[in-house]
Amino acid sequence: MKMLKRLILFVVALFAYLILREMLNFYVLAYTANPYLGYLVLAILVSVLIYFVIIPLYRISRLSGDPGPVRKKRKEAELMEMRLQRRMNNNYFKEVGFILPASGSTLERYELSTNELSKACEEIRRKYIVHLFYSSAVSQYGFIDAILIFSANVNMVKEIFTLYTGRATGRDLWQIMKQIYYSVAIGGSEGVEFAVEELISKLGSDTLKSIPFFDKVMVSIAGGFTNAVLLSRISLITENYCKMTYIESTRDLSPDPVQILDSTRAIVDEPIRYIKKQLNDIARQKVIDFSRYAINPTRTVIEKALDKFTSQSDEESEETLSVKRSIAVGLNPLRYFSFRRKSKARK
C-alpha cells in the first residue's frame, strides 16, 4: 500500500511539474515583454488551473463513498443489495422516471438498473471524448494540452461516479488511480499504436498528401485521436469499477484494447469522416488560399467541415455548439466562460 501511495504521489507531482513548467514559460515570455503583463498572465494561468483542475478534484473529494467490487464471492450479493438501496434515491433515475422493480431476484434487479445507468454513462463518455478530441486537436500549446487532458479526466470520472451514486474510497481509489496512471503513462500501447496506424490508413492517401499543410493537420488529428482513445480507456475502467460486483484482481477492471477502440471509433468516426471530406475538397481545388490556413490549419479544416457537412438550421444544434465550444477551449481556455454564459442565456 505504501508503494502504491508513493507511486500516485509521484504521478501527481509529475503532472504538477509539467503544468507548472508550461505556466512558467508563459510567465517568463510575458514578463520579458512587460513585468505587469507577466503578473497578469500568471494570474490568468493560475485561475484557469484552479477552475479546470482544483475545483473538480475538490468536488470529487466531497462525494459520498461507495464500495467497489468485492474480492470474495460470498460478499457479492450483499454488495448488490447495498447498491440497489442507494439507487432508490438515484438522481438520474428520478430525472428519467425510472423505477426499480420490486419483484425479481437481486441479480435481475441489479442488472436492469445497471443497464439503465450504462446508457447515461455512454452519453457522458461521448460528451468528454468529443470535447477532448476537438480541443486537443486544435490546441497548439503544451500547457493547454495538459490542462485539457487532466480536466477532461477529472470531470468525467466525477460525473460517472456521481451517476452511479458515490465515489471510490480508500484502497480501491488508489487502485483506480493506478489503473488510470497505467493508461496514461503506458497508454495501453498496443491499443494506441493500432489506433494511430488505423487513422493514418484512413487519412494518409496520396491525394491528401499533396496538400502542403497536410502533415501538420495529420499530427494534430492523430494527437486528438490518441487522447480520445486514452480517455475512453479511463472511462471504461471507471465504469467497470462502479458496476462490477466481483473481481479476482484489479486487472479485471481493465477493458480489452478492442473494446476501447470500438468505443472510441463509434464516437469519433463521424468527425474524422467529415475532416477527410473537407481535405479531399481542398485537394481538388486548383488554387488554395494559404492565408486562411497559415496560423492553425487544423482549426480551419475542422470548422469548414462542420459548416459544410453537418446539418444546418436557423438555430444551431446543441451538438454543433458543443463542438465549437471545444474548439474555442482548445485555442483559449478563457473562451469557455463566454460559451457558458451564452448557454445559460438560452435556457
What band does 189 get if pLDDT is binned at 50, 70 and 90?
A: very low
Bigger pLDDT: 118 or 296?
Answer: 118
Compute the distance between CA of residue 41 and CA of residue 215 in angstroms, rounded to an integer: 32
Q: Give the pLDDT confidence of 157-177 residue by residue, as tens digits.
A: 888 888 887 555 555 555 556
Residue 332 sits at φ, ψ, to 5 deg, of -160, 105
SS3 for 70? strand
**Residue given cell 503544468 in the structure block:** 19
Conformational region of residue 312, where left means phi above 0, alpha means psi within -120 to 50, and beta covers everything else: beta
Position 151 pLDDT exceeds 60: yes
Residue 70 sits at φ, ψ, to 5 deg, of -85, 160
What is the maximum span of the chain, computed from C-alpha positions, in angstroms? 71
Task: Give the model's pLDDT for residue 66.
Answer: 61
End-to-end Cα spacing for the chain? 48
Q: C-alpha angle with apex 202: 199 to 204, nearest 5 degrees?
A: 90
Helices (H), the chain: 2-33, 35-49, 55-61, 76-87, 91-96, 106-138, 142-163, 170-185, 189-203, 206-209, 214-243, 257-284, 297-309, 318-331, 335-346
From the CB of residue 120, how many other CB atoms can be counted at a distance below 10 Å?
A: 18
Compute the distance between CA of residue 234 and CA of residue 345 in angstroms, rounded to an integer: 33
What number is the average pLDDT over the span 188-212?
60
Task: Give the model's pLDDT for residue 334.
Answer: 54
DSSP letters, 182-234, are: HHHHT-THHHHHHHHHHHHHHH--HHHHTSTTHHHHHHHHHHHHHHHHHHHHH
Position 135 pLDDT exceeds 90: no
Cell of 301: 479544416
Task: Give the model's pLDDT for residue 257.
Answer: 82
Task: Give the model's pLDDT for residue 4.
Answer: 39
pTM listed for this prediction: 0.73
Q: Give the pLDDT confidence of 229-280 residue by residue, as tens digits.
A: 888 988 998 899 889 999 888 778 888 888 888 888 888 888 888 888 888 8
Task: Give the model's pLDDT for residue 49.
Answer: 76
Compute the distance between CA of residue 246 and CA of residue 249 in angstroms, rounded to an integer: 9
Q: Over pLDDT 70: what percentage of the chain?
A: 66
Q: Over pLDDT 90: what percentage of the chain?
A: 13
Domain residue extents for the chain:
66-346
Residue 316 sits at φ, ψ, to 5 deg, of -60, 145
Q: Give the pLDDT confidence of 65-124 residue by residue, as tens digits.
A: 566 788 899 999 999 999 998 888 888 998 999 988 888 899 999 999 999 999 999 999
Task: Give the model's pLDDT for residue 191.
Answer: 47
Please give the mean pLDDT across all residues of the chain.
76
Nearest Cα neighbor of 228 from 283, 179, 256, 191 is 191
Q: Give the pLDDT confidence of 11-26 residue by residue, as tens digits.
A: 556 666 667 777 778 7
From the CB of residue 286, how many other CB atoms can be counted at a distance below 10 Å?
A: 4
Residue 22's alpha-carbon distances to 27, 145, 186, in angstroms, are 9, 10, 22
What number is the average pLDDT over the span 307-331?
65
Conformational region of residue 119, where left means phi above 0, alpha means psi within -120 to 50, and beta covers everything else: alpha
Cell of 268: 469519433
Highest mean pLDDT among 122-126, 208-212, 321-325, 330-334: 122-126
CA-CA-CA-CA torsion sign (217, 222, 227, 232): positive
What band does 2 get if pLDDT is binned at 50, 70 and 90?
A: very low
Question: What number of CA atoms fall less than 13 Å from residue 132's CA on the CB side?
Answer: 31
From the CB of residue 76, how many other CB atoms can be counted at a distance below 10 Å?
A: 18
Position 311 pLDDT exceeds 70: no
Position 138 pLDDT exceeds 80: yes
Task: Give the model's pLDDT for residue 121.
Answer: 95
Task: Give the model's pLDDT for residue 122.
Answer: 94
